[in-house]
C-alpha cells in the first residue's frame, strides 16, 4: 500500500453528469485511512456563479481502494467539488458541510506522460 506515493501525480477526472469534459488535476492529499484524495484542478471550474479549485474523491465500491491508482489503474469514484468558500486547508478532505451540489460518480485515471491523456 503505497498510496502516499500518489501525491504530486497528475490525474484526470473523467467527464460526468456534473462536468461533461475530462478535467486534469493534481493529487495534493492522500488520506489512506479514510480512502480519500484531495485533487487540485489545473484550471478552476466555474459552474453558475460558484468557483471550484478542489475535488474530494473516494472509491465508489467498498471492494476498491485508492491503491488501484498506484499501478496506473482506473478507479471508479464518487467525487465532490469543493466550492472555494467551503475549502478548509486544515481539514481538506472533510465534507461534513456538504448538503447537495457539485457531486458525481466518475472515473479517475493517472496521466502517464506521452499517453495523450487529454
Task: Convert the pLDDT of each residue in 70-96 to its tens digit.
Answer: 888 899 999 999 999 999 999 999 999
Report yes or no on 50 lying in a domain: yes
If one counts the domains in the chain, the total is: 1
Across residues 24-37, what is the average pLDDT?
95
Task: Convert the pLDDT of each residue in 51-75 to its tens digit.
Answer: 999 999 999 988 889 988 988 889 9
Report yes or no on 117 lying in a domain: no
Range of the domain at 45: 3-110
Contact predicate 93/6, CB 8 Å: no
Confidence check: pLDDT of 1 > 90 = no
Q: What per-residue confidence (pLDDT) applies to 114?
A: 56
Report yes or no on 14 lying in a domain: yes
Residue 14's CB: how many other CB atoms inside 10 A? 18
Report yes or no on 116 lying in a domain: no
Report yes or no on 70 lying in a domain: yes
pTM of the model: 0.90
Amino acid at each position: 500500500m503505497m498510496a502516499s506515493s500518489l501525491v504530486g501525480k497528475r490525474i484526470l477526472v473523467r467527464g460526468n453528469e456534473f462536468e461533461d469534459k475530462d478535467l486534469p488535476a493534481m493529487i495534493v492529499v492522500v488520506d489512506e485511512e479514510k480512502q480519500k484524495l484531495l485533487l487540485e484542478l489545473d484550471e478552476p471550474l466555474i459552474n453558475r456563479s460558484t468557483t471550484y479549485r478542489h475535488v474530494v474523491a473516494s472509491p465508489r465500491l467498498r471492494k476498491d481502494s485508492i491503491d488501484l491508482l498506484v499501478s496506473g489503474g482506473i478507479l471508479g469514484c464518487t467525487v465532490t467539488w469543493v466550492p472555494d468558500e467551503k475549502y478548509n486547508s486544515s481539514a481538506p478532505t472533510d465534507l461534513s458541510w456538504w448538503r447537495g451540489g457539485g457531486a458525481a460518480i466518475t472515473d479517475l485515471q493517472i496521466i502517464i506522460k506521452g499517453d495523450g491523456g487529454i
